[in-house]
Structure 1
C-alpha cells in the first residue's frame, strides 16, 4: 500500500468518528433514523442491466442533480475532479481529460450515451474531449477495468456522459426543458445553454444549444514555475519578459448543439440525433513550440498556437422488448467526422482527421435458473490521419471487434457477478509499415455481500488485456505537446492487468461511508521512456514495455449533521491516494498526489449554500527526469436560491472557486511548469427549468 499522507489519515479518523457524532446529535430529533436509510435508486445506464448504483459490486460513481450543477465546468476532467479517485489531465482552459486512479489517455474510455466520443483526445495531451459537461443529465464513472463492456481501451476505467440527445424515454409532458446562463470573473467567461424535450403522440423530440466564450484567464503569479524562471534567468532572460497575472493565449470559444427524436411503440423504439461540436482554444506559450535555437527565436519570436476543431456526429439507437428468451434487445450505432487544425500564428501547422464508426448490440436475457445477464457484440472502426510537419503518427485504420457476456445471481445475502470479453484489434498503417493484429481477453468476478442491513462488502477480481494503440506502435516524430521526439515500436505486445479491489459501504441512519483499497499489477505495461538522446532539439522518448504496479485507496463519508429551524446541515469528507511503480525500480510520471477534502452544505426552504476545501499533497515521488510539485489548498463556495412560478422553476446562483487565489500546479499536467491553474473565480448565473 502507498504511504498515507497526513491529511488522508485525518480524513480516515473523521470517517470513523462521523457515525458517532451523528447519532449523538440525534437526541431530541423528531425524525426516526434508527433504521437503515433507503438509498436513492440511481440507475447506472452504462450497465446493460441498468442496475441501481447500490446494487453493483463494481466500483461506480454517479454525479447528478444539484451536485452536478455545482461541479459543472468547461471540461469533463474539471467537472469530475472532486470525485474520489478522479483527477484532470489539464492542458489549459480548453482541455481536461479524466484520469482514473492514476491512469489516463488510451486506458480510460470516454463515452457519450454509451458509445465512444470518437475524437482524438487519446492521441495527444493537448487535444480536447468533444463532450459538453453543461448538457449532461448525469455522469457515470466506472472505476477499475471496464473492459467487459467497452473493450481494451477501458482497462483503467470509463466515463459515460448521459445527455438525452437520443431520447430513451418519453418526456412526460408536452414540453419540458431547462436553460442556464452564467458569467465567470477569472476569464470574463460567458456561458449559455438551453434544452427542450417534447412529446407529440408516439414521438419525443429533443433539441439543445450551447456556447462558451472566455478570454485569457487570471493567475495569482507568474505563468512559468519558479524553477523554470530561474533556468531562463540563468540563460540571460529578463524577468519582465515573463507573463504574470494572466495566462497568455488561454482564451477559447466553444459551441454546439443537437436535434434528436425517438419513436416509442408497445414493444419497440427507435431514435436518432444529429450533433455538432466546435471549439477554438489556445495553447499556453512554451508548451507547444520547438526549441529551435536563438537565431530562429530572434527572427520569428514565439509562435502562438491555437487549435480549431469541429466534430459532426450522427447517433442511432433502438430496441425491442419481449423477444422470446430475450427480455430486451438494444442497439446503438454512431458515425462521426472529426477534424482539427493547429494554427501556428496564421499558418496551418498540422491537421488531424478522424472518421469513426461504432456499432453495439446488447441482448438482455430473461432470468434463467436465477441468473440475470446480458451478452453482446461491438464493432468499431477509426480512420485516422495527421497531415503536417508535426504529424508524429502515420495515417492508420483501426478495427476493433468484441464479444462480451455478463451474468449475475443472488445467493441469499450474497450477489455474484461474472463477466468475460474477447476483442480482436487490427491496425493498418499507411505506407510500408506492416499491419499489426492483437487479441485481448478479459475476465472478471465480483461479489457483493450484504452481511447486515447497515453494511455491505464488495470484492472484485479482474484479468484484463489491452492492445497497443497506433501512436504507441508507429510514432516517429516530434510530439510538441509532450515536448519530446516520440518513437513507437511495432513489436509491442498487448499489456495485461491483474486487479483486486476490496470495498466496504456503510449506511447507518444519517451517515453513509465508503472505503476501498485496490491493487493492479501490469505485465508488459506500455509507457514512454527517456532514452537520453536528443533530436531536433527535443529529448527522444521511446514507447517500451515493463511490469508495473498501481496501488491505492479511497475513502468518502457523508452525514446529515442536524436538521432544525436553522435548516439542514450536511458534511462530506473524502480522501484518496495512488502509487505507481515500475517493478524493476523507478516511478511512473504524472501520478496524482494524495488528496483530502471536505464540503459543508446547508439548505433551508429555497436556499442552499456550501463551502468546501481540498488539500492536494506535495508530489515528490516522481519519475526519472520529472520535477516535484508543491502541495496546495483550494477553497470554493456556493450560494443558490430556488423559487417556482407556476410550473417553472427558477434558480439564481453565486459560485466561487479558488477563493484564496492560491497558486496551484497540477502534477498530472504536462503544463505544470508553464501554466498554473486559474486564480480566484466568482461566477454568477441563472437557471430555469419547466
Structure 2
C-alpha cells in the first residue's frame, strides 16, 4: 500500500510513477545521505553537495519542487534554501521510503510539482510489538572515508501502549577520490585565468606560482568533507483494534564540512590580500584544521510529532488519519571557531485526511478522500551570508481525490486549492493556486496496468526566489530575488505502464511537462562582491523524458538462481528561447545480475551515465562514467535474524561527477569504497 496516496492503492495500481523502497533495500544500498541512497532508483538523482548535504532530484527537478516528507508532513529544516543545508532525515531512520515521480501537487501542494519523497519512519508505533518486543540494529564501516555508522531501534508493549526508542550515529573523515577534486575543464579555465593574472604579476617568482597552483588543485581526497551526524527519538502510542494515537520527540545534531565553500572564500581573500599573507594563512590552516578557510555547519533540530488514525467510523467514513509536527531548527556556519551566519527555522505542519467508504456506482466501485494540509514557518538568517531577509511563510491547502474502478478500466481525478502568504519586514506577497488532474486507466489483460494522466499544477514562489539579495557562497553567486514573480504553472502528461511477460516484470513512464513561467536563477553578466550576479526570473520551459525498469529470472547455475534487472532514465530540459535548463541529469542505465541461494545473495551491477553536453550557458560539460559495484549478503542462521553485507562500490576507481550538483566540478563522487555491515533483527 502506498500511504503517500490518499486512496488505499497498491504500488502497481497507482496511476503515476511510484517506487516503494523497503528497509532491507535501504540497508543493502546505503550510501551516506537519504538522497544518495535512493539516487539509483529510476527517475531519481541527487544534488550531491558532498556526503552530508544532498536533496533528491526527481525528473530533473529539485529544491522546492520536490517535497521531502516524514510520515506525510514536512521536515521543518532549511534544506530547500540552499544546497549545502543537510536534510533532517537519515536513510536508516526509515522503515520504507515512498517516491512519487511527477506532479504530486494534488495531495501535497505546489512544493510537490515535481514529486514527493515520503519517509515512513515508525517513530510513532501504529501496531503492537510482535511477542511484546522487537527491534533492529545496524552497524557498518566504510573504507573510502574511514566511516562508521550505527543505528538501533527497540519497540515494546507496555499495557495498552507501545513504546519506540531509536538512536543513530554516522561519522566519516575526508573521502578519497581517484584524481583531482576539480574537473579537467574547470582546471583548464582556472589555469587560463591564472595565466592572465600572471601577466600582471611578472615579478613573482616561479616557485610561488607553482605552490599556488598546487594549492588550488587538491588531489586524492575531497577536503573538508568530514561529517558527524547523530539523532535520538522516543515515541509512545496507544494502539487499539480500530486505530492508534501517538506522540514522539526527536533530537538531531550534525557537524559537517562544506566542501568547495572554503575554496570560494579563498578566492575572495586572494583578491584582497597579497601573496605572502596567503602563504601564512594557508600555513595556519594546516596547523589548525577548521580555522579560517574551512567552513563547517553545526546543526541542531528538536521536533515533536503527534499522529493518529481511526478506522471503521460508521457507514460513510472508512478512515481518518492525521499528522502534526512542530520543529525548532538552527544551524550556524562556522569559519574556524567563529560564527559566520546563523540560520533558524521554527515552524509547524499538519495534515488531516478522511477517506469515505466505497460506493457501488455505475457498475464500479467509487472511492475517495479529502483533506486539509497547512504549515507555517519563521525563517531567519543573520551574518555574513544572510542573503535572504527574515520571513514568515504560511500555507493552507484543501484537496479532494476520487477514483472510480470498473475492474477493466477506470477514472481518477483530483483538485487542490491552496493559498500562500509570505511576509518580510519590508514587503509581503500572497498567492492563490489551483491544481487538478485527471487519469484514465485500463487493464486490457491480467497483470497489465496502463494509465494516462493529464494535470495542471501551480506553485507559488518561495522567499528565496522573491526576496534574495546578497552573496551566496554555496552556489558561488550573488543572488537577487524578484518580488514581482507570479505563480509557476505546469501542464503535464504522463503515460504509465506495468505488465508481465512470462516471469519478467516491466514498468515504465513517458512524461512531458510544459511550464508557463518556470522560475530559475539566470546569469546577468555582471559581478558583485567578486561573484557573478544571478537573478530570479520566469521563462517558459519544457521537461520531457522517460524512466523504466525490467526484471526477472535468468535461469540457474548450480545451486544459484539467477535474476537480472535493467533500469534507465532520461530527462530533457529546454527553454522556449532554445537554451537548456541547468543541472539536468543525463541519459543513464543500470544493469545488475543477482545469484541467490537460501542464505546467500551475490549481486553485481554496472551504472552508466552518458556525457551531459546539453548544458546551460553558465555550466561546463560533464563527462560520461561507468561505476561497477558488487555486494554479497549472507544470512548465517535459519531464523534470518542476522544479515552480513559486504560491498564494493566503484571497484574500478572511476572519476564520476553528478551533473545535478552545483559542486560537480569541485566535488566528484567517492572513489573505490568497501563497506562491511551487520544487521540484526529481533
TM-score (norm 2): 0.92
Per-residue deviation at 1:249?
0.7
Query: For the residues of structure 2 that align with 1:184 and 1:66, how far apart are their CA atoms?
Result: 18
Equivalent in the alignment of 2:272: 295
Alignment of 1:667-686 (within 5 A): 667-686=659-678
Pairing 1:201–2:159 present: yes
Name 1:19's counterpart in structure 2: none
Superposition pairs of residues 471-620 of structure 1, within 5 angstroms = 471-563=464-556, 565-620=558-613
CA distance in 2, matches of 1:268, 1:225: 55
Corresponding position: 1:328 with 2:328: no
1:72, CA displacement in angstroms?
Answer: 1.8
Q: Which runs of 5+ in 2 are unaligned?
A: 199-208, 283-291
**Cα root mean square deviation, aligned:** 1.5
In the alignment, structure 1 residue 410 sits paired with structure 2 residue 405: yes
How many residues align? The count is: 645
Question: Which whole-Å CA distance do the structure 2 matches of 1:601 and 1:250 have between them?
Answer: 33
More divergent stretch after superposition (399-408 vs 636-645) = 636-645
Paired residues of 1:637 and 1:656 also in contact (CA < 8 A): yes
The equivalent of 1:177 in structure 2 is: 135
Whether contact under 8 Å (2:23, 2:94) holds in the other structure is no
Moved over 4 A (4+): none
Cα pair 1:287 1:483 within 8 Å, conserved: no
1:79 is matched with: 37
Partner of 2:330: 339
Aligned to 1:89: 47
Which residue does 2:297 correspond to in 1? 307
Tell me the TM-score normalized by structure 1.
0.91
CA distance in 2, matches of 1:270, 1:72: 31
1:396 aligns with 2:371: no
Separation of aligned partners in 1, 2:589 and 2:642: 34
Contact kept in structure 2, 1:454 and 1:508, CA below 8 Å: no
2:90 aligned residue: 132
Deviation at 1:514, TM superposition (A): 1.4
Tell me the residue number matched to 1:250: 225
Query: After superposition, what is the alpha-carbon deviation per residue over 1:349-389, rounded to whole angstroms, capped at 9, x for unaligned?
Result: 10000012011111111123331111011110011000101
Q: Deviations over 1:539-598 (max 9, x none)?
A: 111000011000101121001112464222110001110000111220111111110110
* Equivalent residue number for residue 364 of structure 1: 355
Alpha-carbon displacement from aligned partner over 1:416-450 (angstroms, at most 9, x marks no partner) = 111110110000112x2x21000111001122211
| SS in structure 2 of the partner of residue 394 of structure 1 | coil
Q: For structure 1, which segment, 539-548 or 318-327, has the greater mean C-alpha deviation from structure 2 after superposition?
A: 318-327
- Aligned in 2, Cα 1:465/1:110: closer, same or farther, shift over 3 Å? same
- 1:443 is aligned to 436
Deviates more, 1:576-585 or 1:45-54: 45-54
Counterpart position of 1:663: 655
Match of 2:308 in 1: 318
Q: Distance in 2 between matches of 1:123 and 1:337?
A: 16
Deviates more, 1:110-119 or 1:277-286: 277-286
CA distance in structure 2 between the partners assigned to 1:593 and 1:680 by the alignment: 23
CA contact (8 A) 2:165 2:234 kept: yes
Q: Is the 8 A contact 2:7 2:401 kept in 1?
A: no
Q: Which whole-Å CA distance do the structure 2 matches of 1:207 and 1:643 have between them?
A: 27
Inter-partner Cα distance in structure 2 for 1:227 and 1:411 = 57
* C-alpha distance in structure 1 between counterparts of 2:24 and 2:349, whole Å: 33
- Please list every run of 5 or more consecutive structure 1 residues that lacks an aligned counterpart in the other structure: 1-42
Q: Is the 8 A contact 2:71 2:323 kept in 1?
A: no
Contact 2:13 2:449 in 1 (8 A): no
1:148 touches 1:404 (CA, 8 Å); kept in 2? Answer: yes
Task: Report the alpha carbon displacement of residue 198 of structure 1 after superposing the two structures with TM.
Answer: 1.4
What's the CA shift for 1:648?
Answer: 6.8
Change (3 A) 1:290 1:468: farther
- Distance between the aligned counterparts of 2:293 and 2:350, measured in 1? 41
